[in-house]
Structure 1
Amino acid sequence: MEMIESLSLRGLPGRIAGFLLHAREEHRDGRRLVALGISQRELAKIVGATPEAVSRVLGRLSRQGVVRSTGREVEILDREGLAAVAGRGGDAAG
């Protein structure tokens, strides 16, 4: 519930970034992965957007080098950059 409340106050990139930061898992090899376990359609419902908008934001974050998205798995490449997008410090990218 706390995650949903905090996500509701952000723009779409911030909501997606916040969700990814909240859901991430550290792996032994040092990668930070988010195994979504849900479709982009379901993620869109959680963050209050269309699946197409979620896809565009993930694509933009990928081009910026912040994440790498492959199917239902997202690797966080730049945690600080993702936190900035989420509005947890620095300039929020939008």
Structure 2
Amino acid sequence: MSEHLCVSLVPLFHQLDHEDLKKINACAKVSHFEKGDVIFQPGDEQLYIVADGNMKIYQLSSNGKEQLLRVVEPGSYEGESQLFGVENDARFGEALNKTTICSISKQDFNEILVDHPQLSMKLLEYNMQKVLQLEQQTQFLSMEKVEERLASYLIDLMIAEESNKVVIPMSMKDLATFLGTTPETLSRKLKYLEQLGCIERKGRNISIVDVEALENI
């Protein structure tokens, strides 16, 4: 089971054959976390693969306020920069719900790259995707109105999931932080989009019923 969860779900390793996947899986340590548990903190140097659940990545501002960077879903990972010598002096990883993590040490991962140099190019590609996600968040915060940021986020989520029915992959509190607002304001803006007929909502499950209207916002 751990082989399937920790290795086969990770796109980075899809190009490897079964025997190589087994070798990589043998290096992985499986850990289970409850909601709110800290998975990693500044100074840790491992690759953290999310096998099940969700892990939020955040940093603390100078005044101690939490700044959400992204949510890592099953099959994705965090910590690859530290494996290449970039020190993590600010980022934390926290379980958003029951989460299973497979971690690979810096030494083991570097040996994997030596044996499979083609993975380095794939790793670079995925890192660029993360950079684009951070740029996207910067664009969100540059939008004056919260409803604009929210509409843009929902459209991107719809495109990513290739469906008009989407599930917000984080709590409302974390989404509010991500969009640079408060949970109370976010709740009002979601109701506003419902009143406009753009969306229908049940908790974190959202149906986008008028894409054009959402885009116009």
Report the TM-score, using the length of structure 2 for normalisation.
0.36
Q: 1:37 aligns with which of 169, 179, 182?
A: 169
Q: 1:49 aligns with which of 159, 178, 181?
A: 181
Structure 1 moving runs of 4+ over 4 Å: none
Which has more strand, going by share of residues?
Answer: 2
Q: 2:194 aligns with which of 62, 80, 92?
A: 62
Q: Check whether the contact 1:3–1:19 (CA below 8 A) recurs between aligned residues.
A: no
* Partner residue in 2 for 1:9: 142
Aligned-pair CA distance for 1:79: 0.5
**d(CA) in 2 for partners of 1:13, 1:66:** 12
Question: Is residue 2:162 matched to residue 1:26?
Answer: yes
In percent, how many aligned pairs have the same letter? Answer: 31
**d(CA) in 1 for partners of 2:151, 2:196:** 13
State which drifts further: 59-68 or 17-26.
Answer: 17-26
DSSP-derived class of the 1:8 partner: helix
Partner deviation per Cα, 1:16-64 (whole Å, 9 max, x = no partner):
111111111234xxxx022102111111000011101000000010011
Which runs of no fewer than 5 residues in structure 2 stay unpaired?
1-133
Partner deviation per Cα, 1:58-91 (whole Å, 9 max, x = no partner):
0010011001111111111111111111xxxxxx
Which runs of no fewer than 5 residues in structure 1 stay unpaired?
86-94
By relative contact order (CA 8 Å, sep 6+), the higher-ranking structure is 1
Compare CA radii of gyration and give the structure with the larger one: 2
* Partner residue in 1 for 2:208: 76
Aligned-pair CA distance for 1:5: 2.1
**d(CA) in 2 for partners of 1:2, 1:21:** 16
1:26 aligned partner, one-letter code: E
Report the TM-score, using the length of structure 1 for normalisation.
0.80
Q: Check whether the contact 1:7–1:47 (CA below 8 A) recurs between aligned residues.
A: yes
DSSP-derived class of the 1:74 partner: strand
